[in-house]
Amino acid sequence: MQDPVLNFSKTGPIHLPKDGRPVDVQVANLVKTFGKNEAVKGVSFTIGKGEIFGLLGPNGAGKSTTINMMCGYLEPTSGDAIIDGISVTKEPMQVKRIIGVVPQEIALYKDLNSMENLEFFGEIYGLPAKERKERSEELLQFVGLYEHRNEPIKTFSGGMQRRINMVIALIHRPNFLLMDEPTVGVDPQSRENIFNTIEQLRDQGTTILYTTHYMEEAERLCSHIAIMDEGRIIALGTLEELLAMRDQTREVQRPHGLQELFIQLTGRTLRD
């Protein structure tokens, strides 16, 4: 068995990890170009079944574009993503049925209540009426908002809205969940609730791609982590493998180790 190839060069090749995990998601040489701007420059990685995979990177690194290609929102310029054996470029509708996406922004209908939001997305994903209602109630209880089910979303706090934003992506019991910075701007209690939910999903066998700017979140949740910058993956491995590669001359220990490595790899220059 060959270890994952970790390459710190921003132009060097990244090889798919071969660590014996049952692979659920394969991303192979994804490229996305907007005019003359190459936003993603050949990204490749795999995610094992039931694994939480962290995708980290500064602003403008290409994380969101990568996620947008993986979920079928953007068509890749080249490359492909295979999710549960289905190609996103060849069968995007099939892929959309088995994935869930928690967007970075709170994408909810704020005049509607949480049940109406959940039931609407249940309709969109083709759930029968009875199952739709039961699943909506189950999810609201899952995130502790069942008592607020008839209140308009616009009356919810930021943390409550984030929790609804997350469970809407679970309405159709997806195999693969893409979570794009799901804890931005939430209080510690809501964040803990979201973490618990994610861990329960992982324990139930859901594969998760998780992007965040908070290194401690990645350290807590992710078994494998990729660090992106300027459209490429510049580091990839387990948390221990990545920590082992940081500058050992400096005495920085967890939980600050990943943060130190991140700055070491991506530099201290401010990003837009």
Partner 1 sequence: MKNLWYIAKKDLLQILKDRSSLFFLLLVPLILIVVVGFAFGNLFGSGSSQVTITVAVSNQDSGFLGKSVVQALQVNASSLKITINQYTDPNKVKDQVANNSSVNAGVVIPAGASDKFIAAAQTGTAPKDLVQVYSLPSTSDPRATIVQNIVTGVLSSQFAGTSAVGQVNNVCNQPGNHCAQSSIDAQTIAATVGGASATGGATAVQALTAGKAVSINSFDQIVPGYAIFFALFGVQAAAGTILQEKEDGTFRRLLIAPVNKYALLGGKLLAQFILTLGQLTFFFLVGYFAFHLDIGSVPAVIALLIGASFAATGLGIVLVSIVKTRRQLNAIVPLVVIISSAIGGAWWPLFLEPAWMQQIAKIGITAWAMEGLNGVMILGKDFGQVAPDILGLLAYGIICFVIATRLFRFQQATPA
Is the Cβ of residue 69 or residue 239 nearer to partner 1 in the bound state? 69
Containing 80, the helix (H) or strand (E) segment is strand 78-83
Query: What is the C-alpha separation between 19 and 139, in angstroms, rounded?
Result: 34
- For the residues of the chain, what is the DSSP string, one character each? -PPPPP---SSS--PPP-SS--EEEEEEEEEEEETTEEEEEEEEEEEETT-EEEEE--TTSSHHHHHHHHTTSS--SEEEEEETTEETTT-HHHHHHHEEEE-SS----TTSBHHHHHHHHHHHTT--HHHHHHHHHHHHHHTT-GGGTTSBGGGS-HHHHHHHHHHHTTTT--SEEEEESTTTT--HHHHHHHHHHHHHHHHTT-EEEEE-S-HHHHHHH-SEEEEEETTEEEEEEEHHHHHHHS-TTS---TTSHHHHHHHHHH-S----
Q: Which of 6, 14, 27, 74 binds partner 1 (CB under 8 A)?
A: 74
Q: Quick one: three-class SS letters along 82-98? A: EECCEECCCCHHHHHHH
User: By CB under 8 A, is residue 136 in contact with partner 1?
Assistant: no
User: By CB under 8 A, is residue 128 in contact with partner 1?
Assistant: no
Q: Minimum distance from CB of 123 to partner 1 (Å)?
A: 4
User: By CB under 8 A, is residue 266 in contact with partner 1?
Assistant: no
Judged by CB under 8 A, the stretch of 13-21, 107-115, 188-196, 253-261 that binds partner 1 is 107-115
Judged by CB under 8 A, the stretch of 33-41, 44-52, 134-142, 202-210 that binds partner 1 is 33-41
Number of residues that bind partner 1 (CB under 8 A): 39
Q: Which of 9, 11, 93, 249 binds partner 1 (CB under 8 A)?
A: 93
Q: Which of 64, 114, 136, 211 binds partner 1 (CB under 8 A)?
A: 64
Q: Which of 14, 52, 63, 215 binds partner 1 (CB under 8 A)?
A: 63
User: By CB under 8 A, is residue 60 in contact with partner 1?
Assistant: yes
Is the Cβ of residue 234 or residue 239 nearer to partner 1 in the bound state? 234
Q: Which of 59, 78, 155, 157 binds partner 1 (CB under 8 A)?
A: 59
User: By CB under 8 A, is residue 10 in contact with partner 1?
Assistant: no
Q: Minimum distance from CB of 261 to partner 1 (Å)?
A: 21
Residue with tokens 């209080």: 187
Residue ranges in 167-196 that form contacts with partner 1 under rule CB under 8 A: 168
User: By CB under 8 A, is residue 132 in contact with partner 1?
Assistant: no
Contacts with partner 1 by CB under 8 A lie at 34, 39-40, 59-65, 68, 71-74, 93, 96-97, 101, 103-112, 116, 120-121, 123-126, 152, 168, 231
